[in-house]
Amino acid sequence: MTAEPLEIAPAVTVDVPALVGSDLAEKAARYLEAREDHIVVDPEIMGGTPVIRGTRMTVYSVLGKLAGGDTIEDILADNPHLTREAVETAALYARTHPIMGRPGGRPWAKAA
């Protein structure tokens, strides 16, 4: 898999590998492919919240489990139909696409 220059508008092409390096461009290309394979955003499934394909497990619940101390192995043991790549991709997607809106709880309480 090679990262090709990206056409962002007619007559405007960005050579991503030249800008960020071929290693990072390859990682980004692999992530994009994995995201297409494993993540679904469909208004008919969980109201459009991103989920792992074939499940109702949101990417944010995966990230929450990992933040709460579970390991990828724990998630895979609880969900044997999932692959490691699907769980890793879901966690990365959730980190790079945070839930929009007002933060929950009382964020000012931490400062006091």
The per-residue pLDDT for 70 is 96
- Mean pLDDT of the region 11-15: 82
- Is residue 107 scored above 70 in pLDDT? no
The per-residue pLDDT for 91 is 97
What is the CATH code of the structural domain delimited by 6-98?
1.10.10.10
**Interval 44-77: pLDDT, tens:** 999 999 999 999 999 999 999 999 999 999 999 9
The per-residue pLDDT for 112 is 56
The per-residue pLDDT for 99 is 87
Q: Taking Cα atoms as reference points, which of 105, 68, 71 lies closest to residue 88?
A: 71
The per-residue pLDDT for 2 is 56
Do 44 and 38 meet the contact criterion of CB atoms below 8 Å apart?
no
CA angle 36, 37, 43 (to 5 degrees): 65
Q: Taking Cα atoms as reference points, which of 27, 8, 5 lies closest to residue 17?
A: 5
